[in-house]
Structure 1
Amino acid sequence: MYQVLYCLTDQHDWRLVALGGAVCLLASAAAISLFQRARAASGGARVSWIALDAVVAGCGIWATHFIAMQAYGPGAGGAYNIPVTVLSLIFAIAVTFVGLSISVSATRTIPVALGGAVVGGGVAAMHYTGMMALEIPARIGWATDTVAVSIVLGIVFGSLALVVAGRRDGVANALGATVLLTVAIVSHHFTAMGAVELTPDPSIVISGLSIPPASLSVLTASAAVAIIAIALAAAVLDRRAKGELGRQQVVLDTALENMSQGLCMFDADGKIMLFNERYAAMLRRTDIALTGRLLVDVLREEQAKGQWQGDADEFFARLVIDAREGRTTSQVVNRLGRSIRVVNQPMQGGGWVATFEDITEWLEAQAKISHMARHDALTGLPNRVLFHEQLEQGLRRTGSGDQLAVLCLDLDHFKDINDSLGHPIGDALLKEVGRRLKATVGESDTVARLGGDEFAVVQIGRSEEAAARCLAGRLVEVISAPYEIDDHQIVIGVSIGISLSPQDGSNADELLKNADLALYRAKADGRGTYRFFETGMDARAQARRLLEMDLRAALQRDEFQPYYQPIRDVASGRVVVFEALLRWNHPQRGLIAPINFIPLAEETGLIVQLGEFVLRSACTDAATWPDDVDVAVNLSPVQFRNPNLIASVTAALTVSGLPARRLELEITESVLLQNSEATLTTLHELRAMGVRISLDDFGTGYSSLSYLRSFPFDKIKIDRSFVSELATREDSMAIIRAVTGLGRSLGIVTTAEGVENDAQLELLRREGCTQAQGYLFSKPRPASDVALMLERPRLRASA
């Protein structure tokens, strides 16, 4: 120890010693910074950083040695052998590279320390090789103990330096490691210099390959400058890299913590490397240590708490195998009542990334969308799509002895309820009908709403058509029972068509079509009943379709013609009005009566065009008649709902030049069943124009008297059903007497329809009926016969 202190105090220039220490400190700082940068890199980039670090550290050790040697003054001149001096630099870089490679690649403390020891050994190798380059006229000896101490100091402090640097990439660790590496180099050098024993020998000659100290000073200074430049460049690059990495880390951390998905990264052994808070919260693992732990250990811990079911080892082994074989797996697991989709994506180099997405709400939304696509939004019943699927399933399930029935239901006059009471009441009624249907059918039966007021039922049984007949009867009874909806008592009927499998069809489409045909027959037979499909129904349906096609074509071919039937004043016997009645002159079928095509025209909406045609033609024809003869035109409920009705009447009067007072518009009570306020508004507008309004088929409805009170009709027409039984039934006579008396008291003209004989006419005259119409006077005739009907008092049908 005394020899070392003596060497430092008496044999060194402290100015150069300080310079050497500064160079050593700077080189050590650059070396530690590069070491930490190399640990953060991988592959070829890591090798490049290790090589640069080895060059900086080796040159720093070498420069420190030779600057310190310039400070050494043993009292004799000398020089340095060039090859050995260069060899010492090579030793410093090479051995340092080996030590750094060991430490950079290691994750445990012992290998890192071993690499630091190799770096310390490199300091010793460089120092003693550099001492071998010294040529002076003296023999150099060594104190063995001191040499050993110097080597140990280099190794110990070198190990500590890299261990501290490898723990964490922080300022404190970098500073501590820099000081320790500086101490390793300086303590080794000066301890080793204290071990030098010089014995003067003038016989020793300096070789020709030596370099004088002055030249070496320049070389050492140049090396020091180069080291400083390299160190500064490395520090700048490292700072920039760290800054960029820091920014990327902030972005990555922000992205991870703001992900809607949970994320966890595992290494090849299944150890948790990285996770975000969403992952921990989603899997309820916030109270469990996760980082650095094997997933299987976490699962075992949860399994012990009853939070995870299954075989943890088997599950973990399957994940590791899938990752090693590069398979991406996906599954949906249930975790504490939540549905979580887990996707395991293998990583290059081993390990995998697992993402966890809570899809509970998404699954619920998908289920809701699927339900909405296959169910009726109003009633919650299956819609047409689902009904068709369930019907096909029912057909596949039924055996040879099973009977499947399809019932198509349609509410009678539902549109009238909708129009008179409003859509909210109509919707409430449909919901109640759906509830009653579901409560009436069997557990294995299916009820669906096909659209509007149309429902359907699939029934499966073994009792032939008896079960379907029984169910249809119950449905008619249940649906026809009164409803109480928003203080309204509603009574509505239902018509049902039934088809049976296999006799009426073996597939869903055929059964539905035939049940619909049977439904149409039930409506035609008076509604409020049910009918089974019969083979002839299809032929009738085809005939109806052909008639509809002919009806549409007839409008284009002008096959329609207005006929007129006279209405006579009972007292005077003269014709006062002609009622316009439409006839269809079919090119093959001949003259078709209105009863055969008007209902079809109303169903298809063609009645609007036909009505406008009759109105225009009647006004045009009436304009040529005597001024005291009027014309009456019927308006159907469909035509009355047309918003262009007022415009059509106005146009017909304007084009024809017929005064409005000569036009009578006849409506039935079904028109008044519609929206009463809008209906009355339209009637008052027509009345304000001067057009007269007549109530047709009076006495057949249930609220005729209330209609007379709500609107001042100009005429009421007594239905032919009362007139035909006038002479045989006293109640018919009483009704006519009451109606004619009501007309006189209200100042309303009364017209009796269907007068066919003189006895009926005489009774009507006696009861004070104002006008009469019927075959007693004339059947409907074309416009060319109007003059004849005006001249002759009676043109009987037989004529």
Structure 2
Amino acid sequence: MTPSSPARQALPQDLPALAVLGALHDPASRRSAPLRMLAQAAAALATVVLLYGRVPTLAVLAWIALAAAAQVYAWRVDRALAAADTRRLSPPEARHPVAAALAAGIAWALPLAGFGSFVDGQTQVKLWAVLTMLTTVSAILPAAVPIATLVFSCVAGGSAAAFFLISGHWDTAAIALLSLLALVFATVDSTRRRIAAGRAEAAMAEKDEVVSLLLREFEEGEADWLWQVDPARRVRSVSPRFAFALGRQAAQAEGQPLVQLIAGSAWDTGVFPPSLRELAERLKRREHFSNLLVRVEIGGQTRWWELSGTPRIDEQGLFQGFRGVGSDVTEARENSDKIAWLARYDTLTGLPNRLMLTETLASALDHAAKWRTRCALLMIDLDRFKAVNETLGHHVGDQLLARVSERLKAEMSEDALCGRLGGDEFAVVLRDAAGPDAVERVARRVIERLSEPYEVDGHTLFVGVSVGSAVGPRDGATAEKIMRNADLALYRSKDVGGNVHCTYEPVLHAHADERRKLEAALRRALGRGEMRMAYQPVVDAGTEGVVGFEALLRWDSADHGSVSPAKFIPLAEDTRLIVPIGEWVLREACREATNWPAHVRIAVNVSGEQLHDGNFASTVANALTSTGLPPHRLEIEVTESVFLRDDAPARAALDQVIALGCGVALDDFGTGYSSLGYLRRMRFSTIKIDRSFVQGAAAGNRESLAIIRAIVAMADSLGMSTTAEGAETEKEVEIIRQLGCRKIQGYLFGRPMTGRDAQVLFRERALPSGQSAA
């Protein structure tokens, strides 16, 4: 049975008297069984000698048979329990040794209690002496269970005390009773000691086995080894694992200085790593050390060892060297270094990440505050990168970011650190920005270098650069404040068109706060009923009759007054509030259009965020259904910018809208990418010509005239209508008519108006009966 078996785990911890007297098997009974049988035989012989001639022979022979039968029964019980260890016996098992002891006790009670009246007083005392000897031996030589010894002693010894008491020998009865009590206490105590000793022996055996197992596992391990050095710090008793770690044979390493074996080339140069010097100092000072990380050189390769050592002192107090354990933790160290690198560097570009930039900026601020100098942070954002990433794919976008990081890193001086904050945002920390134009020089150099064309995967790419900067500690005493203020300056740079550098000014906080408040007000605008619709008429170029309206959104904020669409529409797109606002605009425009003549269309501008929402077609269908407006009277206006992202969702949404029977107009054509591929892939109902071309044509600009003619000719050949925007004078209208545009929109025919004013306009500019404006 192993040391960890349930039998040993069931040993009692405090060995109370009840446990000793209970059914706890004593393994010592197996060793004492022959001696108990020998004592029984000797006692039987002495009893026969004492009874022979004084008691009838037949009675003596009957007693001998009874005693022998009890002894055989006890022997068989001992054999049955021979396989049991120190454990609790089951009730059936415990009953057998008790029954055997009871039988033996009754058999040995007969010589004195049964035959005592046939012999004289001297023989009676001799029989009691034999009986006392036998009970004493039974207490010394334990039975299978302790309670069996007590049963035998109480029955046999108690019968003697009872005999003397009945016979009137009060003194002898008292002595017999006292002897019996002493024997009981002695039995309990000796049994407790034996079981406790057995338990301690088992525990020691278990510990020895566990230690042996651990040592065996340690010696057979692949990474750990034992090492030992003498007082001169030379290795001794080199184990195979230690020799393998040293890259030598055990005989080659034996007797060599430990530091020399692991120093490598540093032993010749005398330039030791700090960790190796610390190990040498610990060995020299005879100090205990634990888990000491040491850089070693084995076979020309740098490794990392983790060593623990303890000085050895003999009985006379003399130093005998060191003994310890070691392990090669090179892989763990490299993994730790890699994790530390990943925590502070960007995996795509290899540049420091936000964490390291923040730590560097904080250090630069501390240095600037201490020496009364200046540091700076430049926040850099790539303009038009989003279009590259979405039109050419993330693979090309990642390559472009890598090229940008290479150029940015090449522009850094010793006092500058560049890094990537995430996405297409980078940053530069200037540790020394004391010069009057130090920040401006770096910003200008970065803009010029990063704006140069890139050749990536067969594509020539152009991106602009917006830069915002903040100077510390003037613009902030902490890294967080400097980064926030530089970010505000970056937003300012992008707002003015990009490709410029803006420095932080306190007024930017007011702009940011205004934007935050404007966003909060915009979120409540629909619920407060602050949104309203305006409608600008679109007329037929020939008859000047109203054929449609463009729906325009207006916001009259209770907190901010009348807010320009150029201000709140981009904010709504950035916050995706444009989706619920766009739904409201569609419903309201369709509802108002039901009040107009059946030939008049309503055009609603739609953002790219709405088309990428996934539910846009359902929104259009719900607006038409709830208001009862026929689908052919609704026209959705989009710009080319909606196709700069992944255009598949936008095209799918517009195809669904066309399937409903609605028209789709391409707004501001000629001012964006002017890709003819859009016209091939999408069935636009109308192409709207930007007002800049109309004004140029009226001024006699040949390029504007040519562009308008080309657009009109192309639209006619594709079966599309054309609308000229921005007509404000009679001359512009005349040019538009001459160039062949079918519809005109501009202040000359009406400014944006309310729905009620639009109905008045119908009475003033009604179309002739039966004339179509298509």
Name the TM tier (shorter chain).
0.5 to 0.7
For 2:235 and 2:325, how far apart are their aligned partners in 1? 13
For 1:298 and 1:437, how far apart are their aligned partners in 2? 51
Equivalent pairs: percent with the same residue?
A: 40
- Secondary structure in structure 2 of the residue aligned to 1:504: coil
| Amino acid of the structure 1 residue aligned with 2:679 | L
Residue 715 of structure 2 corresponds to residue 752 of structure 1: no
Q: Within 5 A, what are the aligned runs for 1:338-737? A: 338-345=303-310, 353-398=323-368, 402-461=373-432, 464-731=435-702, 732-737=704-709
- Secondary structure in structure 2 of the residue aligned to 1:343: strand
For 2:754 and 2:764, how far apart are their aligned partners in 1? 16
**Compared with structure 1, are the counterparts of its residues 333 and 415 closer, same or farther at alpha carbon in structure 2 (3 Å cutoff)?**
closer
- Secondary structure in structure 2 of the residue aligned to 1:497: strand
- Secondary structure in structure 1 of the residue aligned to 2:603: strand
**Compared with structure 1, are the counterparts of its residues 756 and 730 closer, same or farther at alpha carbon in structure 2 (3 Å cutoff)?**
same
For 1:760 and 1:305, how far apart are their aligned partners in 2? 89
Confirm or deny: 8 A CA contact 2:234 2:257 kept in the other structure. no
- 1:767 Cα deviation from its structure 2 partner: 2.3
676-685 vs 757-766, greater mean Cα deviation: 676-685
Confirm or deny: 8 A CA contact 2:380 2:426 kept in the other structure. yes
- 1:753 Cα deviation from its structure 2 partner: 1.3
- Secondary structure in structure 2 of the residue aligned to 1:332: strand
Structure 1: tracts of 5 or more residues without a match = 1-237, 795-799
Residue 249 of structure 2 corresponds to residue 286 of structure 1: yes
**Compared with structure 1, are the counterparts of its residues 745 and 489 closer, same or farther at alpha carbon in structure 2 (3 Å cutoff)?**
same
For 2:413 and 2:279, how far apart are their aligned partners in 1? 47
- 1:647 Cα deviation from its structure 2 partner: 2.5
For 2:263 and 2:480, how far apart are their aligned partners in 1? 58
Report what 2:192 is aligned to. none
**Compared with structure 1, are the counterparts of its residues 343 and 480 closer, same or farther at alpha carbon in structure 2 (3 Å cutoff)?**
same
Confirm or deny: 8 A CA contact 1:495 1:527 kept in the other structure. yes
- 1:248 Cα deviation from its structure 2 partner: 6.8
Residue 763 of structure 2 corresponds to residue 791 of structure 1: yes
Residue 724 of structure 2 corresponds to residue 761 of structure 1: no
Report what 1:252 is aligned to. 215
CA RMSD, aligned part only?
A: 3.7
**Compared with structure 1, are the counterparts of its residues 671 and 270 closer, same or farther at alpha carbon in structure 2 (3 Å cutoff)?**
closer
For 1:538 and 1:317, how far apart are their aligned partners in 2? 58
- Secondary structure in structure 1 of the residue aligned to 2:602: strand
Structure 2: tracts of 5 or more residues without a match = 1-200, 767-774
- 1:776 Cα deviation from its structure 2 partner: 1.7
- 1:746 Cα deviation from its structure 2 partner: 2.5
- Secondary structure in structure 2 of the residue aligned to 1:781: coil
Query: Deviations along 1:569-609, whole A, 9 cap, x unmatched?
Result: 12222222121111112114333231121111122222222
- 1:562 Cα deviation from its structure 2 partner: 2.0
TM-score normalized by the length of structure 1: 0.63
Query: Deviations along 1:236-273, whole A, 9 cap, x unmatched?
Result: xx9x9999979974763244212531224689999989
For 1:472 and 1:304, how far apart are their aligned partners in 2? 48
- Secondary structure in structure 1 of the residue aligned to 2:574: helix
- Secondary structure in structure 1 of the residue aligned to 2:573: helix
**Compared with structure 1, are the counterparts of its residues 471 and 572 closer, same or farther at alpha carbon in structure 2 (3 Å cutoff)?**
same
- 1:387 Cα deviation from its structure 2 partner: 0.4
Q: When the two structures are aligned, how many residues end up with a matched partner?
A: 552
- Secondary structure in structure 2 of the residue aligned to 1:281: helix
- 1:650 Cα deviation from its structure 2 partner: 2.5
Report what 2:225 is aligned to. 262
For 2:638 and 2:496, how far apart are their aligned partners in 1? 24
TM-score normalized by the length of structure 2: 0.64
**Compared with structure 1, are the counterparts of its residues 270 and 494 closer, same or farther at alpha carbon in structure 2 (3 Å cutoff)?**
closer
| Amino acid of the structure 2 residue aligned with 1:341 | E
Confirm or deny: 8 A CA contact 1:340 1:357 kept in the other structure. yes
Report what 2:294 is aligned to. 332
For 1:582 and 1:549, how far apart are their aligned partners in 2? 18
For 2:209 and 2:474, how far apart are their aligned partners in 1? 80
Q: Within 5 A, what are the aligned runs for 1:34-73? A: none
Selected match of 2:711 from 739, 753, 758: 739
| Amino acid of the structure 2 residue aligned with 1:477 | E
Between structure 1 and structure 2, the one with the greater Rg is 1
Confirm or deny: 8 A CA contact 2:290 2:307 kept in the other structure. no
| Amino acid of the structure 2 residue aligned with 1:753 | E
For 1:762 and 1:299, how far apart are their aligned partners in 2? 101
For 2:661 and 2:561, how far apart are their aligned partners in 1? 38
